[in-house]
Structure 1
Amino acid sequence: MGDIKKGLEGVVALDTSISFIDGLQGILKYRGIEVEHLAEMSYDAVSYLLINGILPDEQELTDYSSRLKNERFLHHNMADVLKICEFGIESLDLLRTAISCSAHFDTEKDIHSPEANINKAIRLVAKFPTMVAALERNRIGVEPIGPNNDLSHGANFLYMLTGRIPTDLEAEAIEKDFILSAEHELNPSTFSLRIAASTLSDLYSAIICGLCTLKGPLHGGARKGVMDMLDEVISPDNAENYIQDKISKKEKIMGFGHRVYKTYDPRAQVYKDIARRISLENGDTVWYDMAEKLEHIMYHEFIELRGKPIYPNVDFYSAVVYKYLDIPSELATSVFAIGRVSGWIAHCLEQYSDNRVIRPRANFV
């Protein structure tokens, strides 16, 4: 049956108009627009772009934001669902259960018309932050806080999570995080949900498939891994010993390297800048200094000494941003999903629009 590409590395599986990656040049575009440019917009605008294919004009953005705000609130029975679903290490276990349950309260769940799918898309984008914030507050034993419709998508999430209005820079940081997390071509979670969508399963089922795949430590769970690594390093002074110990044991160093990028991940550059700015606003640069020290050591060890192109990936400085926003590591993958859901939906809609069931073959040995 020909050469086997383990992990489907380098295999082109389909055409898409949603995103473009040049791993050698460090380029990422959503719908033809560089991610660095999109990071200066609102998440609502980028969500609209991904799902509808074009940037909204002023009125379209106003209408879209209004629809999202109207759908932020959860069905009253969801409060009981969130309370009885305890979780231990990984909050994504609860989030996937919550999304599955919320589907039963959507009267359009099994209606597959384009209009119904857009309605479901808006509900999913709007409710993800509310669910993630509620499950975390339940975990720490305090009452969930309802949405504040005077706040943006990102600021509202931080408000529901912490109970206080975030600073302008904190709100900017989480908006950028959602935007930079929103889409990344055929990553494992996106490919898995496109397989689900190709069977003409409903939008909720496909999104849950994406959530299950995102949980893995080699995918979305890597962000939690970086946060845990920073806790292990403790101080910039320990960075050198930490890296050398990992290298001697041939263990993976979280937050470095990428299957696609052979240069600096363009998202990591944006995260690094916002991490630096928010560290200065906090008056505490330890997390940022530690990350920068780790980056310098890795550059020396792998690029200068070994000639291996191993650079920080999207998870590295995003973990630093999460540290400054007081997002616990157990919540990191779920927060990642808040941003990614718009890209996931775009891929489902694209799959539905020109569908052929995804069914590769295996080579029997």
Structure 2
Amino acid sequence: MEEMKKGLEGVVALDTKISFIDGIQGILMYRGIKIEDLADLSYDAVSYLLINGNIPNETELLEYSQEIKKNRQINGKQIEVLNEFDFGIEALDGLRTAISCTAHFDLENNHHSPDANKNKSIRLVAKFPTIVAALHRASFGQEPLEPNDELSHGANFLYMLTGKIPTELEAEAMEKDLILSAEHELNPSTFSLRIAASTLSDLYSAVICGLCTLKGPLHGGARKGVMDMLDEVGTIENVQSYVLDKLEKKEKIMGFGHRVYKTYDPRARIYKDVAKRLSIEKQDSSWFDMAEEIERILYHEFVEIRGKSLYPNVDFYSAVVYKYLDIPAELATSIFAIGRVSGWIAHCMEQYADNRVIRPRAHFV
């Protein structure tokens, strides 16, 4: 009998040129470039890299950014649909339905040529932030704001969300967030999306598979879980009793541990730096201090005492960044998707280019 690995842990399913992870040394690369080097670029440049395979030159980046800006708007029919949603649900449910609706307005939806897929990829990257911001405003009975073409991808999203031009650091934080969220090899949402693409389903349908999988609390939903946890802890004085009580009850502490990384997640280091800088700009260190104290206690309990690897993952300090940006917890997973859509598209393109339908076997018991 062939060995069955629960959760497919450690199973290599396919070859990819899109990203590389070394979980022992804490390395993440997009297209062979370390995430630490990419984090200082614009999201547009990283999106172009993922989808097209190379860092754009000045002309390529300008043209790509202009195409994204031209396709940011959503039409009146789409806005009508958004206003019909049940706003008691998580925002990702609304985003999933809105993207499905958007497919109906795309004349190339069922065209599968490389050119048609490139056109659809631009529209998806461009419209994700507009839809998430419009959903949030609709939940308060507010009209969506027109995109601001003077702003970067991240800054424009914050503007459409709040109606305020973000500070330079806030804009940088949002841009970095989208870059750090953009790609992470065969995570559950990307694998589900590649399965859909392997059947030669269309790009929109594959992306919707990614959205449905991202929603789970063991994947993209974990970021919301960290934000909720910080609210539950409340103050730094409560951290120790909260953490030790969780450990005694053998309950999970959100934002720690990873299936692949056995050391510090390289994205978490970048988020931690941004969170600290935001705490200084906001003159409020409470969220950052709480998070750092949670990290300190868990490091002591697991790494120093038990000799086990337990470090912050991407969700932990990203949740602190969201707190300082005044982003509601219910939007966390949808904003993750704004960044991730470029990586998803890249995986769809790679699957289409060298396809075999993904169809594993099961061991009957």
Report what 1:185 is aligned to: 185
CA contact (8 A) 1:87 1:93 kept: no
Q: Which amino acid aligns with 2:235?
A: S
| SS across alignment from 1:77 | helix
| Residues 294-328 of structure 1 deviation map (CA, whole Å, 9 limit, x = unaligned) | 00001001111111100000000000000000100
| SS across alignment from 2:150 | coil
Report what 2:168 is aligned to: 168
CA contact (8 A) 1:23 1:263 kept: yes
Q: Which amino acid aligns with 1:48?
A: Y
Unaligned runs of 5+ in 1: none
Q: Which amino acid aligns with 1:90?
A: E
Matching of residue 232 in structure 1 with residue 232 in structure 2: yes
Q: Which amino acid aligns with 1:132?
A: V
Report what 1:242 is aligned to: 242
Report what 1:156 is aligned to: 156
Unaligned runs of 5+ in 2: none
| Residues 216-251 of structure 1 deviation map (CA, whole Å, 9 limit, x = unaligned) | 000000000000000011011111001111011110
Q: Which amino acid aligns with 1:353?
A: A
Q: Equivalent residues in 2 for 1:273-352 (5 A)?
A: 273-352=273-352
Q: Aligned equivalents of 2:241 and 2:142: distance in 1?
A: 40
| SS across alignment from 1:46 | helix
CA contact (8 A) 1:75 1:105 kept: no
Aligned CA-pair RMSD = 0.6
Distance 1:198 1:363, change over 3 A: same
Matching of residue 261 in structure 1 with residue 251 in structure 2: no
CA contact (8 A) 1:40 1:176 kept: yes
Q: Aligned equivalents of 1:287 and 1:276: distance in 2?
A: 9
Q: Which amino acid aligns with 2:50?
A: L
- Poorly superposed stretches of 4+, deviation over 2 Å: none
Q: Which amino acid aligns with 2:152?
A: S
Aligned length: 365
Q: Equivalent residues in 2 for 1:30-69 (5 A)?
A: 30-69=30-69
Q: Aligned equivalents of 1:355 and 1:162: distance in 2?
A: 42
Q: CA deviation at 1:146?
A: 1.2
| SS across alignment from 1:20 | strand
Report what 1:90 is aligned to: 90
Q: Aligned equivalents of 2:5 and 2:125: distance in 1?
A: 35
| SS across alignment from 1:29 | strand
Q: Which amino acid aligns with 2:175?
A: E
Q: Aligned equivalents of 1:296 and 1:90: distance in 2?
A: 31
Q: Aligned equivalents of 2:343 and 2:2: distance in 1?
A: 33
Q: Aligned equivalents of 2:127 and 2:285: distance in 1?
A: 33
| SS across alignment from 2:118 | helix
Q: Percent identity?
A: 74
| SS across alignment from 1:327 | coil
Q: CA deviation at 1:89?
A: 4.0
Report what 1:363 is aligned to: 363
